[in-house]
Amino acid sequence: QVHLAESGGGSVQAGGSLRLSCAASGITVSRYCMGWFREAPGKEREWVARIGIGGGATYYTDSAKDRFTISRDDAKNTLYLQMNNMKPEDTARYYCAASAQTSYCSRSPNDYNYWGQGTQVAVSS
């Protein structure tokens, strides 16, 4: 049984930082494309960052580039999202997800097989 458990959310002021974690069980994160998504009230779930299988090529949406860093610790089987210089528009519920696709690492939520319950992030101005 696959279980993804996010943690590390909270409330910060603009310009602050948070580090989200996603502990995985039932899968090996290095063998899956892993992604971070977020969903704000009234908006669709959107992709934020993803990391590929094996060597772990990373990809970011424009809003996350130069502020967020996705990484994983294979020994701990855990995915991370370091968020710096946060902005009020980063306020959302953040989800980690795993995709079993091996041909490419997708940005579409529809291509991800497993999801965590999410962790709430609030950024005040």
> Are the C-beta atoms of residues 32 and 99 closer than 8 Å to each other?
yes
Q: Is 102 left (phi over 0), alpha (psi -120 to 50) or beta?
A: alpha
Checking if the pLDDT of 62 tops 90, the result is: yes
Per-residue pLDDT tens digits for 63-118: 999 999 999 999 999 999 999 999 999 999 999 999 998 778 899 999 999 999 99
Mention every residue, 6+ apart, whose C-beta is less than 8 A from residue 106. 33, 50, 99, 112
Compute the distance between CA of residue 83 and CA of residue 90 in angstroms, rounded to an integer.
Answer: 9
Percent over 70 (pLDDT), the chain: 100
pLDDT band at 54 (very low <50, low <70, confident <90, very high): confident
User: What token pair was written down for 20?
Assistant: 């989200």
Terminal Cα distance for the chain, rounded? 40
Q: Is 89 left (phi over 0), alpha (psi -120 to 50) or beta?
A: alpha
